Amino acid sequence: MKKTHIAIIIVIAVSIGAIISATGDFSTYVGFTQANEQPGTKYTVIGELDTNQAMNFDPLSSTFSFVAVDKDGKSSRVLYNQPKPQDFERSEEITMKGYAKDDVFVAEEILMKCPSKYNETNKLEGYETY
């Protein structure tokens, strides 16, 4: 084989490896019901904070717990092994990546969608919206 053929085969192999590793990081968006049906399987759940329920932080285990309601209206206790994120109560939407275990959702990562400071009620003076 020529050196160019070997180089092309190596480039193709590296490209296939990169594609496989990138697609392995994607998770499926589900609700709490579906996550509880397959405990231990990683999922992404989008929901909102249930402000009527208590939020707790245990400094000994460094665990933050709260109750969230998914898009289907199902609520679940969520455990997050990090301190409470800043402005957590103000978030409009919470994206939780993790898995179900013993009727709780263990979040490994939390992303929040906070309210925009440029919405209709907080318009900048002198500027019009189009």
pLDDT at 96 over 80: yes
Residue 69: pLDDT band with limits 50, 70, 90: very high
Which CATH number covers residue 56? 2.40.50.140
Q: Looking at the domain assignment, is residue 33 inside a domain?
A: yes
Q: Looking at the domain assignment, is residue 93 inside a domain?
A: yes
Q: Looking at the domain assignment, is residue 35 inside a domain?
A: yes
Cβ neighbour number for residue 12 with a 10 Å cutoff: 10
Domain that holds residue 55: 29-113
- The per-residue pLDDT for 117 is 60
Domain count, the chain: 1
* CB hemisphere CA count around 88 (13 angstroms): 21
- The per-residue pLDDT for 74 is 94
Quick one: CA dihedral 22, 23, 25, 29, positive or negative? positive
Q: Looking at the domain assignment, is residue 11 inside a domain?
A: no
Contact by Cβ (8 Å): 37, 97: no
Which carries the bigger pLDDT value, residue 115 or residue 84? 84
The pLDDT tens digits for 8-54 are 999 999 988 877 766 655 567 899 999 999 999 999 999 999 999 99
pTM greater than 0.85 = no
Q: Looking at the domain assignment, is residue 118 inside a domain?
A: no
